[in-house]
Amino acid sequence: MPTLAEIAKLAGVSPAVVSRVVNKDKTLRISKETLERVQEIVRESGYTANRAARSLRSTETGLIALVVHDVTNPVYGEITKGANAAAAAAGKAILISDASGGDEGTARLMELVSGRGIDGLVLQADQSLSDQVLARAARENVPTVLLQAELGDGMPAVVLPDKEAARLGTRHLIDRQHKAIGCLATAEGLSFTENRIEGWRAALSEAGLPCNDSLVRYSLPTIEDGRRAMEELLKMQPDISAILCCNVVSALGAMAAARDLGRRIPEDCAIVAIHDIPMADFVFVPLTTVEMPLYELGRVAIEQLMTPAGASGRETLVVSKAPRLIHRASS
Amino acid sequence: MPTLAEIAKLAGVSPAVVSRVVNKDKTLRISKETLERVQEIVRESGYTANRAARSLRSTETGLIALVVHDVTNPVYGEITKGANAAAAAAGKAILISDASGGDEGTARLMELVSGRGIDGLVLQADQSLSDQVLARAARENVPTVLLQAELGDGMPAVVLPDKEAARLGTRHLIDRQHKAIGCLATAEGLSFTENRIEGWRAALSEAGLPCNDSLVRYSLPTIEDGRRAMEELLKMQPDISAILCCNVVSALGAMAAARDLGRRIPEDCAIVAIHDIPMADFVFVPLTTVEMPLYELGRVAIEQLMTPAGASGRETLVVSKAPRLIHRASS
DNA sequence: CAGGAATGGTAAAACGAATTACCAAGCTGG
DNA sequence: CCAGCTTGGTAATTCGTTTTACCATTCCTG
């Protein structure tokens, strides 16, 4: 772990020269011999600049924090992968955290934001977290991008073609002659939830089918809550013959509920879920899904973060790759 | 984003006082009024120490890098959660990366290690990554813990009770009267692979059943490769009536292969997989699994990282929570 | 009332790299 | 032969904290 000064001493030059050589300063005039001598010593000593010192001067850390709800959810994993790749390409590393850190984790994140520990923040909105953290980030001028959430107050965001996806899935069910199509939505109040419900509604209206609010039920993106919501929905609306499930994880719970209520899938209850994951093909009834560009979502979020503010024109960026329906046995 | 000096000016004291107040320096003698005035200004200005400056002095960054194979794999997600919680409790944040960053990602990681960008490294061994990174970490004195891998050269490691788990799963199959039990192992050469094979072998010997190497087949922990390996195994050893699958993800591929070869599960081919994930219950035939303490693995890895070197006594630490068999329809 | 001990702080030197302004020596042109 | 340019660098400041050593006062105490 040599320092600049040590390298400089070895090479018989000043630290300034070493620094400028390492950073390829074009304005540095230097003789070929000195240059090569310095480079040689840098190479064989394996010198790497101390990050703390570099950050202190430059006010850049090379770190981007990515906050998602749940790292065990494969949907978020795919987003993470995209973000990771984009960040690596830009010379940044990703610092990931999720809600599982609890208050300690949140405190850690706040410290990171406040103390200029990160160059940027990609945040999947979450009621409790967002308010505090966003306020801090704004105050500290830490560039921030929201993932799958539009707050509307000029905050940059990256979203998926949610309405499209929901419409596509619903249309598929309509094409298969279903008349009473329910919607198992994600958590109430989130903008992407609303967008998906809107897509479902749009498809139904276009086909002249009924679509009132009693066909909608909210659920968290977990298996247990999907099961609960589906049970309630099927009991209150027994005529339903098909379901658009806005999250692939809650879809698993929903399928279990349908089965346990004696419904055959897809004969008595067809199911289409949003987001494709490899597992979908291995469910007890292989699940028809609408694939969304999750990897791109992660990638674009990072790219958006790094374009100078306002340069992109739009505050909310929709990942443009179109959703795609993958037909399996559940419909 | 005030600095120490600014706070000091506002409070009419020296920066040293502010620093020592913020860090609760017990040796600081200070009047009640001054203390409260400083605290008040710190609080209302929302002062947080600049991380780069702090790191520069203290040579601690508060960051720990966690490198796993694949963040979309729910098995690793659970490990990440445990690590996250333990790290947060210790005032550290987790910097996660996986192989998806490619060479860029590796380069980023190397920079982090070399430049004292992290306080510690938890690494899931991977041939290509390990050699370079481990060498660097050793040279830079960055504490390192290996996840599920024993290199044997004094490198601290944290492992699961792999042999136990494999034996438990195999014994379950033996109890159900299976005589020809194959083993779908994970990647060849890794220590945990060997341990699981050993557990499988032990259970068979104890029961006086045959166990030669032709009953073992290696596969990567992906669905596709699990399918390939299972196909080969069943074609070469058609007598096999049960399989211990060392990875739950490849088990999905294996089940698909068995089904496609006309075998009913569990009648013609029973399957037990190692690692329980929520999805296991939703597979086309619900999967019997051996649950392992993944969350604890992550947690212990971080704790091990933070105990002073050698203080734990043992270099390789086995997470002690016992594996548990979860019986479902596949066996 | 002198000498020592509390009290309530402060000054200054790190930490390691980046950067700007500057400088000495050698060369060139008029 | 000397003004000015080029070549090949260097000195010194800055980033924001932490920490150690130190210093004035005031307060006892014998």
Are B187 and B270 members of one domain?
yes
Note the pLDDT tens digit of each residue in B159-216: 999 999 999 999 999 999 999 999 999 988 888 999 999 999 999 999 999 888 999 9
Residue B325 falls within a domain, yes or no?
no
Mean pLDDT of chain B: 92
SS3 letters for B132-190? HHHHHHHHCCCCEEEECCCCCCCCCEEECCHHHHHHHHHHHHHHCCCCCEEEEECCCCC
**Residues B88, A81: C-beta atoms closer than 8 Å:** no
Are A271 and A178 members of one domain?
yes
Answer with the residue of higher pLDDT: B196 or B129.
Answer: B196
Q: State whether residue A307 sits within 8 Å of chain B by CB.
A: no
For B33, the domain range is: 4-49
Contacts of B317 (CB under 8 A, 6+ apart): B156, B157, B158, B159, B300, B304
**Number of domains into which chain B is organized:** 3
**Residues B74, A72: C-beta atoms closer than 8 Å:** yes
Mind giving me the DSSP string for B235-277?
HH-TT--EEEES-HHHHHHHHHHHHHTT--TTTT-EEEEES--
Residue A324 falls within a domain, yes or no?
no
Residue B323 falls within a domain, yes or no?
no
Are A201 and A253 members of one domain?
yes
Note the pLDDT tens digit of each residue in A38-74: 999 999 999 999 999 999 999 999 999 999 888 888 8
Residue B330 falls within a domain, yes or no?
no
Residue A331 falls within a domain, yes or no?
no
pLDDT band at B153, cuts 50/70/90?
A: confident
Residue A112 falls within a domain, yes or no?
yes
Nucleotides of strand D within 7 Å of the protein's CB atoms: 7-12, 14-21
Which residue spans within B17-86 are E strands per DSSP?
63-68
Are A169 and A284 members of one domain?
yes
Are A69 and A142 members of one domain?
yes
Nucleotides of strand C within 7 Å of the protein's CB atoms: 7-12, 14-21
Predicted pLDDT at A100: 66
Predicted pLDDT at A106: 83
**Residues A108, B89: C-beta atoms closer than 8 Å:** no
pLDDT band at B70, cuts 50/70/90?
A: confident
Note the pLDDT tens digit of each residue in A220-255: 888 999 999 999 999 999 999 999 999 999 999 999
Are B145 and B230 members of one domain?
no
Residue B40: CATH number of its domain: 1.10.260
Q: State whether residue B144 sits within 8 Å of chain A by CB.
A: no
Are B287 and B299 members of one domain?
no
Q: Is residue B312 scored above 70 in pLDDT? A: no
Predicted pLDDT at A177: 96
Are A199 and A233 members of one domain?
yes
Set of chain A residues whose Cβ sits within 8 Å of the Cβ of B59: 52
Distance CA A315, CA A322 (A): 20
Q: How far is the CA of B120 from the C1' of D22 (A)?
A: 37
**Residues A77, B81: C-beta atoms closer than 8 Å:** no
Q: State whether residue A61 sits within 8 Å of chain B by CB.
A: yes
Burial (CB count <10 Å: 0-12, 13-18, 19+), residue A293 = buried
Strands B288-291 and B324-326: antiparallel
Are A299 and A269 members of one domain?
no
Predicted pLDDT at A254: 97
Predicted pLDDT at A317: 79
Which residue spans within A91-196 are E strands per DSSP?
93-98, 120-124, 144-147, 157-159, 181-185
Predicted pLDDT at B162: 96
Q: Which of residues 16-75 of B touch strand C (CB under 7 A)?
A: 16-17, 20, 28-31, 33-34, 53, 56-57, 59
Residue A169 falls within a domain, yes or no?
yes
Q: State whether residue B311 sits within 8 Å of chain A by CB.
A: no
**Residues B52, A71: C-beta atoms closer than 8 Å:** no
Give the closest residue to C12 (Cα–C1′): B16
- Positions in chain A whose pLDDT score sits under 50: none
Are A66 and A212 members of one domain?
no
Residue B188: CATH number of its domain: 3.40.50.2300
Are A283 and A224 members of one domain?
yes
Residue A54 falls within a domain, yes or no?
no
Are A123 and A153 members of one domain?
yes
Share of chain B above pLDDT 90, in %: 76
B63 DSSP β-pair partners: B93
Least CB–CB distance from A93: residue in B53, B73, B112: B112
Q: State whether residue A138 sits within 8 Å of chain B by CB.
A: no
Q: Is residue B262 scored above 90 in pLDDT? A: yes
